[in-house]
Amino acid sequence: MDFNELEQLISKDETKNIELKKSTGELREGMHSACAFLNSDGGILIFGVSPSLKITGQIVSESTRRDIAQALVGIEPAVSPVIDYVDIPDKPNFQAIVLRFNPWVYGSDPYTFHGKPYYRLESVTKAMPRDIFDERIRINMPHKYSWEMRVADGYSIKDLDGGTIRGVIRLGVEEKRIPVGSLSEPIKVVLKKWNLLDGDKVRNAAVFLFSKRFSFDYEIRMARFRGTDKNYFIDNQQAHGNFFELLDAGMGFFFKHLSLSGEIKGFKREEHLDVPAAALREALINALCHRDYDIYQCSIGIAIYDNRIEIESPGLLPHELTPKTIKRSHRSYPRNEVLATVLYQTTYLEKWGSGIKRIMDACKAEGSPPPFWSEEGGYTVVTFPLNKLNGRIVTQNAPQNAPQSAPQNAPQSAPQNAPQNRLDAIADMILANDSIAISVIAQNLNVSRDSIKRDLKKLGYAWEGASKKGHWVKNKE
């Protein structure tokens, strides 16, 4: 960096990412700002600028350099910023000192200076609030501080359902995910292997999985609403219990309120829900396994409307995923790793990171509209548009000599007619969210934006209002 670049850099005074000091006589205060930059979006600390924004510089001796190095030692974890010494024109031996600090990386330790954390709020350096500091510690050391690893007060091994534990061990053994020898091992030994015990004390994960005591701590809210909003409900229930009891209750509610149809394949009759049961089960297991249990007085919710099903789970998606990217192939980012490990070994979860694909594949196999994900009010919500079973066109059993809808040599460049189930899915999405973007619809259905535009025109929908605050309106015929 040269003098002209430095002048340009400080021309707007101090900002969220720039801190100016007159000299290294303010070295300690400067390190507070350095720590704040490291805990925020990064920044530049400059010594040698007067309050009037004049670059005065200072004489930089070996002692000055040692003082800076010694001050940086007070920052933990250790840092090595890039340091530039900028010569001041017409002032021999005078230099401004420029230190560049990188931004905080999600998942890393929070930084401290002499044991105290700081962060940047606009152009002001402040002591970091305790809740932010604790959250970053939990992110960096999830196993030590996570909900599932904490001891469950008031519970012991006697409060766990031994029959359920033995039953899921057998499932794991049958699928070769658990050694055969586990069948004869004491339950306490198995629980230790699953990391569900802290010495002789049971952890929260053990209670959630296997408790046989009634508790209000773990709940699912379930409602069947009339129409497409929450003004009127037909059925409203709550279920409490361990993981397996909540899973059974949720699936029972789906089977109670969703239409059941069947079709004959060969000599067998196959039953189908409005939404594939396998997809609903996978989504509910994901909600139970991956919800944020540190968010108290919240619970998983199942809401069935005339046009959609919503499963909401407390907590947002992992930092690495968004509602737009979750459908892509991705690694697993389990919030509750101990729960995920036990559920995988006992066959309730498949390979980590494959749950979303399994949901999508189950819907595709039955010709159901694909679900979509959103984040609303601190919850992650998966929405399944309801399938129109009675109006669905089934082509998989069509005779081999059935006439084709178009000549085999039809031009490939001609736009194909949208299948009816895709049009139904688009209509359902708009009914569920009348401000949904074309790009979101296209991504959910894995087709191009141009195809969706043609489909919307065919359905008679037009956008009304501003680009970001408008909504879809169906043209009157």
pLDDT at residue 463, as a whole number = 87
| Alpha-carbon torsion (47, 51, 53, 58), positive or negative | negative
Task: Report cis status (omega within 30 of 0) of the bond before 51.
Answer: no
For the segment 159-180, the average pLDDT, to the nearest whole number, is 93
Rounded Cα gap, residues 242 and 288, in angstroms:
10
In the predicted structure, residue 414 carries a pLDDT above the cut 60: no
Among residues 97, 121, 114, 99, which one has the least CA distance to residue 39? 121
- Tens of pLDDT, residue by residue over 204-233, are 999 999 999 877 789 999 999 999 888 998
Rounded Cα gap, residues 429 and 448, in angstroms:
16
In the predicted structure, residue 145 carries a pLDDT above the cut 70: no
What pTM value is reported for the model? 0.58
In the predicted structure, residue 272 carries a pLDDT above the cut 70: no
Among residues 252, 256, 263, 255, which one has the least CA distance to residue 390? 263
pLDDT at residue 116, as a whole number = 95
pLDDT at residue 402, as a whole number = 33
In the predicted structure, residue 65 carries a pLDDT above the cut 50: yes
Tokens linked to 242 = 């361990």
DSSP class per residue in 287-342: HHHHS-TTSTT--EEEEE-SSEEEEEEESPPPTT--TTTTTS------SSHHHHHH
- How many CA atoms lie within 13 Å of 24's alpha carbon, on the beta-carbon side? 23
Of the pLDDT bands very low, low, confident and very high (cuts 50, 70, 90), residue 339 is very high
In the predicted structure, residue 153 carries a pLDDT above the cut 70: yes
- Tens of pLDDT, residue by residue over 49-64, are 999 999 999 999 999 9
Q: Which residues pair with 58 in a beta bridge?
A: 95
pLDDT at residue 38, as a whole number = 95
For the segment 329-334, the average pLDDT, to the nearest whole number, is 70
- How many CA atoms lie within 13 Å of 382's alpha carbon, on the beta-carbon side? 25
- Tens of pLDDT, residue by residue over 419-452, are 666 787 787 778 667 778 887 787 667 678 888 8
Alpha carbon separation from 247 to 141, 370, 428 (Å, rounded): 29, 22, 27
For the segment 458-471, the average pLDDT, to the nearest whole number, is 81
CB 222, CB 250: distance < 8 Å: yes
- Tens of pLDDT, residue by residue over 288-307, are 999 998 887 889 999 999 99
CB 30, CB 45: distance < 8 Å: yes
Q: What is the DSSP letter of 208?
A: H
Residue 76 — φ and ψ, nearest 5°? -130, 140
In the predicted structure, residue 398 carries a pLDDT above the cut 50: no
Among residues 166, 168, 214, which one has the least CA distance to residue 188? 166
Cα end-to-end distance, the chain, whole Å: 67
CB 306, CB 227: distance < 8 Å: yes
Tokens linked to 106 = 């999600």
Say which residue, 1 or 44, is predicted with more confidence: 44
pLDDT at residue 270, as a whole number = 54
Say which residue, 359 or 320, is predicted with more confidence: 359
CB 197, CB 203: distance < 8 Å: yes
Which residue type is seen at 378? G
Q: What are the structural domains, with CATH classification, of the chain? A: 3-135 (3.30.950.30), 147-210 (no CATH), 219-334+350-363+379-385 (3.30.565.60), 420-474 (1.10.10.10)
Burial class (CB in 10 A: 0-12, 13-18, 19+), 101: buried
Alpha carbon separation from 459 to 367, 432, 452, 465 (Å, rounded): 20, 16, 10, 19
- Tens of pLDDT, residue by residue over 181-196, are 999 999 999 999 999 9
Q: Which of 16-25, 31-40, 391-400 has the lowest mean pLDDT?
A: 391-400
pLDDT at residue 426, as a whole number = 83
Other residues' Cβ atoms within 10 Å of the Cβ of residue 255: 12
Other residues' Cβ atoms within 10 Å of the Cβ of residue 241: 20
CB 140, CB 108: distance < 8 Å: yes
CB 27, CB 74: distance < 8 Å: no
Q: What angle do CA 307, 309, 312 make, to 5 degrees?
A: 145
Tokens 């952890």 correspond to 203
